[in-house]
Structure 1
Amino acid sequence: MADLVKTTSIGKKGASRPHLWKQMKRMKMLYLLLLLPALNLAVFHYAPLYGVIIAFKDFKPGLGIWDSAWNQFGHFKSMYHDFVFLRALRNTLIISVSRLIVGFTFPIVFALLINEIRAARFKRTVQSISYFPHFMSWVIIAGMVVEVFSPERGIVNYIITLFGGDPINFLSSKLFFIPILLISDAWKEVGWASILYLASISSISPEIYEAAETDGANRFRKMFHITLPALVPVITILFLLRLGHILSGGFDQILNMYSPLVYEVGDIIDTYVFRTGLVEFRMDYSAAVGLFKNVVGITLLVTVNRIVRKYNDYGVW
């Protein structure tokens, strides 16, 4: 009996390979389409990993990466005595956690509200308008924010002076800089981020809502007892993916909006790496800081994913 099972399993394994090649030949155009993204991933994401070793060396441009001397983790040790790095780490955590709370909850609320609109034309119009800011670069949006909050010509300060107040330089204020970051980021991404939630809501069977209405449920009860539970898998996966970028505080946005006056609250790891590597030309040290950020992100993602998978099946892998 054991020999029969072994023979059968070998036969299945042997038959699977020709079957796989037959499937690949039948779907060759799909595999050709997959070739370009795979090449992009290999060339621009995996090939540059060779340069990571610069973080473990005292890099000398004249010697190159391989011939530069190893530094026995010297850059990683000096990070914990670098006041500017520790300040950037603190700011990154504050801004990233704030962005996670605001930027993660707003799209869910927005999707729930859009789902409650009954006029189809108005619903499509609101969705289209909400998607538009996502396609604008942070250079354009930063220019708009600067104009809106300008002390001389901004509409916000115009309203303040209209009521007898003094103009405020919001983007140079440590008190207002982070709230402006959060508001502008939410305005830019809330519509686009709600697409997945709206797609999940559209997959809910209308019969469930009809049954709830028969039992006397109003709109709020249907929202909290049907719609929100149906969004739990999507919310969990997106939360895990966002958690992996917890030390990415929004480089494009902050680089275009901050100034030395708000470095104390606005300087994050990404902008610190940019200045250290390209302005001060300390590429080995900036590579060590960037590697530290990525290792922390991967560790958080793997740890939280395991915890989530322990209690339900809604993990990333």
Structure 2
Amino acid sequence: MLNTKLSPEQISLYHEQGYLVVKGFCTTREVDKLYQTAINDHAMRNNALDVNDQSGKKSKLSLWFTSGNDVFGYLTRSQKIITAVQQLLGDKARVCHFHSKLMQKEPKVGGAWEWHQDYGYWYKNQFMFPDELISVMVALTPANKENGCLQVIKGSHKIGRVNHGFSGEQVGADMQMVNNALKTMELVYTDLQPGDALFFHSNLLHRSEANLSDHPRWSIISCYSLQSNLAYNETSTSWRTPVDVVPDDAILQWEAESLSKADFLKKENDPALKETGWEQEVNT
């Protein structure tokens, strides 16, 4: 991208529909380097978590908090991402990197993700302000209807937080409210090519089908918060540490460390998977 800033029209569209697709956000060379690192870095593979959907199919994800000096850190700290995130969240405070995760849906076996809002998870981290949280997905392989691309309900971020309960090993939204949203708003399949970016609000309802195709669907999703957003049940420190921004060419030009230095999430430490009591009241 020659111009890293979003246009006023793009910013308005994000606030109206709860998401924004930016085509060609990363170059082919950047995507190739990211994808090859994802495949070949042993730390990424060794720290992958299996997450079961309702049917027992597994999706793999590797989640880490601190955005470091590896190639993924250079992406998540890049000028183009942080500039766009700051524009969409506003300039009330500086942008912090909460966490990033590599999503790995393998052909035929990659499981579904149930309807949820990201804030349905992060509510358990006790973040106070959902409007100051955002996720950025960058596609590393094609994402389409056949291999289980992300589905979103356009405008559903305006509903506010929906109650969430357990759905397999995932946290799923109350299906009564999801069905109400589907009657009221448009369902959109976000078809992405490698390098396309999807920015979406923490209260946007979204899901994805299992990957029953012959092709993998890999993506990186980075989650950001403003420093003004407090989290009262989060033990990591990345969420309150302003991002040390690097130039966009760092992804290709700078020497990159291994992800072995990353502070990966362990499944037993995830607050989203711990019961709080109110999950039993949710219709999933």
TM-score by length of 1: 0.20
Q: Which has the higher strand share?
A: 2
Q: Which has the larger radius of gyration?
A: 1
Higher-helix-fraction structure: 1
